[in-house]
Structure 1
Amino acid sequence: MAADIIKSDRRIVRSKAALKQALLTLMSQKPFASISITEIVELANYNRGTFYSHYENKEGLLDDILNELISELVKSFRAPYEASELFRIDELPANAVMIFDHIFQNASIYTVLMNSEVLSDIREKMFLALKQILIEDLDDSASANGLNREFHVIYSIHAVLGLVFHWIEGGFNYSPAYMQEQLVRIINWHPSTIMINKKERK
């Protein structure tokens, strides 16, 4: 009985993985709106019955892809402080920043999504997920310095995601290690003065 359940679970995992890959392949070739369920199942080498046993429609399949990505994104974001009670940003080692590793490991998926009409959906899901965990996981120490906590959280997330999206759109032209190092440098850079380059003005 247990063996049958395991085999059934494995079949479900395989079929869902094949359907996800088929949808992503099709999205790399044409707009999501023009993709049919028939195309998805034919490419995945399954039938429509298998599809509808897992999803109500292609939007549900896409949501499954996005939710899985977001879950992994959240884990990678939490990695630097997951096992700590006190998170010292000024002592954060670059190799503890895992978000760029996650993005790079799923580069093909993120590239397809970023070049599709569902870009706004993935941006919003990523933003809302990170906003929620920042508010839930970290205490309100910013308010002690007169900062509006919501503003600080929104600013921080947009800064990180802006860097991530720029990296993806640039075709991953820098290594994850370089991006980790640069993010840590940016976080810890607090200049008191900045020189104005007037020679470049016109």
Structure 2
Amino acid sequence: MFTGIVTGQGTIEAIESFPEQDLAVLTLRAPGHTENLGLGGSLAVNGVCLTATELDGETLKVDVMGETLRRTTTGELTTGISVNLERCTQAGARLDGHVVQGHVDTVGEVLGREDHGQWTTFRISIDDAYAPLTAEKGSIALDGISLTITGVSPATSTGGHWVEVGIIPITLAETTMGSRQIGDKINIEVDVLAKYVARLNEFGGQK
């Protein structure tokens, strides 16, 4: 489990693709995030929970299966790009963000960015299937960052659904959101509590 409080950025150093195995192997430099990680340890990379398969100082390798490559932006990463990092949460630690599983639901696109001096508004598209799981003042994870939703598209929207978030300067500076522009793709994980409620409602009329 994670909290969506990004603790640093890493760099993609190499990408190996194995199409016959429906797999990719990423080599990632992650300063400050490998100490006591251990093989099999979890690290959120742009909000995607990945497992360390090799460790060498501040560099690690992770295997990324086809499902993850297709459902997240991981399949579009290139060498040299910066990514958000977060170690998994220790039991008893302060929960500064919200419950984030590292299980990305869908990929959205930056539809708008508006700077307001001391904060910046982003509008992000969201798949119609996940729009009902978002609410104004609710929580959402964008590229692994725990954020509060400041606006949502109307339920009756016919032009595609979206969410808006407001981001303060320190978050822009310490995460990849500072470089995000219109057209960029972003990993989205909706609130896990909303997913469970929706699933329970699907069975509500059954006996």
TM-score (norm 1): 0.22
The structure number with the bigger radius of gyration is 1
Structure with more strand by fraction:
2
TM-score (norm 2): 0.22
Structure with more helix by fraction:
1
